[in-house]
Chains A and B, each alone.
Chain A
């Protein structure tokens, strides 16, 4: 979120894919998407190209569609890691 804010401050729009969206919000992230994923697999299940493509595509759509700062868009993807 520190990085995101620095980049946004210089004039480049950003979007964060977060596994812990409340933390992102608390730290002032301007645009956030939140798939249901564990920390460490924010873009989805390993080797699941379809899920990763879906998350990345929806993330970029959210980048363009979010018009209010500190918006969090939940993404309808779920990956539960087997630990």
Chain B
């Protein structure tokens, strides 16, 4: 059968398009992995600069030494009640350290990242923030990343 292509013809029915697949294979068992946490939930050190709640494509580094009590959230896009009670509900840094103690994973990454997610300046977030964070994670040889968002 020959396909007919008509320029500018669109389906009347909304057809959702998914972006192309990205896939990095897992290369080692969990107990040999260095794991990083990355979130779009607006998590940062209490001593660090708050996010601009109106939209902010920047990111904050959360060092491995930080515990849940050193962290806070500035994010205008969801109900902060639960994270204000316990940041581990969205950024499980204390739980991840407990998994290291158990020997379930090898270690927590030196650097973890907090952002406000892609709800604002999507272009900067996609072209600058995302690749920059990815590059930093690669530099410190992170084996896998757990994300919380959405």
Contacts and interface: CB of A to CB of B under 8 A. Distances in A.
B34 to A, nearest CB: 10
Interface in A25-54: 25-28, 30, 38-47, 49, 52-53
Nearest to B105: A60
B21 A30 contact: yes
Contacts of B88: 43, 46, 52
A53 B94 CA distance: 10
A28 B78 contact: no
Contacts of A73: none
B19 A10 contact: no
A46 B83 CA distance: 7
Given A12-B143, A12-B145, A40-B82, A3 B130 contact: yes
Contacts of B147: 3-4, 7, 14-17
Size class of the B contact interface (CB-based, 8 Å): 35 or more
Size class of the A contact interface (CB-based, 8 Å): 35 or more
Contacts of B104: 57, 60
A6 B130 contact: yes
Contacts of A40: 41, 78-83, 89-90
Given A3-B147, A40-B82, A60-B105, A28 B18 contact: yes
B118 interface: yes
A8 B99 contact: no
B135 interface: yes
Interface of B: 16, 18-27, 29-30, 35, 38, 40-41, 78-83, 85-86, 88-92, 95-96, 98-99, 104-105, 113, 115, 117-118, 122, 125-126, 129-131, 133-135, 137-138, 142-150
10 contacts: A10-B137, A12-B138, A40-B79, A47-B85, A53-B98, A56-B146, A60-B30, A61-B30, A81-B79, A81-B81
